[in-house]
Amino acid sequence: MTERTWLPVPPLSDFPIENLPFGVARPAHGTPRVVTRLGDHLLDLPAAGIAPDLTARPTLNALMESGRGAEVRARAAEVLTGPERDDAVHAVGDVEVLLPIQVGDYVDFYSSIHHATNLGRIFRPEGEPLPANWRHLPIGYHGRAGTIVVSGTRIARPSGLVPDPIDGVPRLTPTRALDFELEVAFLVGGPTATHIRPDDAGGHVFGVALCNDWSARDIQSFEYQPLGPNLAKSFATTISPWVVTLEALRPYLVAAPTQEPEPDPYLRAAKPWALDLHLEIDRNGATIAETNFSAMYWTFAQQLAHITVNGATTRSGDVFASGTVSGPNPGERGSLIEQIADATADNYLADGEVVTLRGWCGGDGPDRPRIGFGEASGTVYPAVEEV
């Protein structure tokens, strides 16, 4: 049953009272502070007197590390359903919405069996599409934490060494194969931890956001062997600004697909850790792909177990992303390279194009409120000129 709030919530909003994601915003003439979002308004948590030691801050990191997220969110819900507090509210259009965290370490996975199979067929047409290790562990690489940017940040076309199509000589050139990757990012909270078991993942994941792992395919195909992508992906990764809590998403956790062969015991889970999350890619105002996150082969709980099984420790603010989310059908492909199946085709992103990711759980029944993520959007700008 939906509680009454004194702020309006438009129909089909991503942000009903059941969501209450965390973010960071800077009001006009104010300093950045922690907020929650309801409809098209923000509750200013320090102005509302809610845990100012954790919320009168320019990032969510202290709140994430404190383990008090659920308590703070519950107090925000009380304020929003209690007496009006106009002194602690901003319209979302009146503030600058900022990158919500100081990012610690960043790992990007490759956990969609459909995406990995599609790419294997493109890069290794004569061989098995999946690498031999793929069904045994969630493959990932360490990405560049410092270039994770918030939705709306302009994306400058990256340059890198690409073999010339005429003479084959690698030359520094703006990419001619700029792509996106539809992904879901998980933000780590709580005290530092290691050897996390999959079924304990809920205590270590503060929240979830949408993620676009921008990728330059021509740079990638020349540089990636044997150590994986580097400049092809490190120039920018866009995330959505609203950190949706695992608590809000809990009704939409579902069983993951059956894994064959059964993974090593450290990767086995008894609880359902897949997420029934509808995802869409918008290119210049048109929806070009739709899929569902529940078909991912490796879950975020298994990914977190994997990156800590060797003794590596977590920090609040670490981010790990799912890998490109693709489904089994052609309309469910989460990157352009899968849609056009050619790393040199001319249908990659041109300057001025806008890519926007959207996603939401539920919204399809009376007891299934829409828990949405807002947008992860970016516009492509021309390459920075060489001096």
Binding site residues, Ca ion, CB under 5 A: 108, 181, 213
Q: Which helix (H) or strand (E) holds 292?
A: strand 286-292
Spatial CA neighbour of 269 closest among 304, 319, 294, 314 = 304
Q: Which of 350, 330, 352 is nearest to 341 (CA)?
A: 330
Structure tokens at 273: 């850790």
Closer CB to Ca ion, 24 or 281, in the complex: 281
Is the separation of the CB atoms in 300 and 307 below 8 Å? no
Nearest approach in angstroms of CB 183 to Ca ion is: 6
Which of 57, 27, 69 lies closest to 206 in space, CA to CA? 69
Cα(211)–Cα(255) distance, rounded to whole angstroms? 23
- The answer to whether the beta carbons of residues 32 and 150 sit under 8 Å apart is no
Helix (H, G, I), strand (E, B) or coil at 241: coil
Whole-number Å distance between alpha carbons of 15 and 151: 17
How far CA 348 is from CA of 179, 185, 202, 336, 339, in Å, comes to: 6, 24, 38, 7, 10
CB-neighbour burial class of residue 262 (10 A; exposed 0-12, middle 13-18, buried 19+) = exposed
Smallest gap from Cβ 303 to Ca ion, in A, equals 13
Min dist. Cβ of residue 154 to Ca ion (A): 20
Nearest residue by C-beta to Ca ion? 213
Smallest distance from the beta carbon of 58 to Ca ion, in angstroms?
Answer: 28
- Shortest distance in whole angstroms from residue 356 CB to Ca ion: 17
Give the count of beta carbons closer than 10 Å to the beta carbon of residue 28.
Answer: 8
Give the DSSP H or E segment for 378: strand 371-381
Nearer residue to Ca ion within complex by CB, 181 or 332: 181
Taking the complex as a whole, how short is the minimal distance between the CB of residue 299 and Ca ion, in angstroms?
17
H/E run at residue 371:
strand 371-381
Q: Find the DSSP H helices in the chain.
A: 52-55, 61-66, 69-80, 113-123, 217-223, 231-234, 246-249, 300-308, 336-340
115: annotated active-site residue? yes
108 vs 223, beta carbon nearer Ca ion: 108
The active-site residue, picked from 41, 114, 115, 306, is 115
Q: Is the dihedral of CA 146, 298, 316, 64 positive or negative?
A: positive
In the complex with Ca ion, the residue whose CB is nearer, 65 or 108, is 108
- The total of other beta-carbon atoms located within 10 Å of residue 226's CB is 4
Nearer to Ca ion, 213 or 338 (CB): 213
**108 versus 375: smaller Cβ distance to Ca ion:** 108
Is the Cβ of residue 69 or residue 143 nearer to Ca ion in the bound state? Answer: 143
Q: How far is the CB of 297 from Ca ion (least distance, A)?
A: 15
Residues belonging to the active site: 115
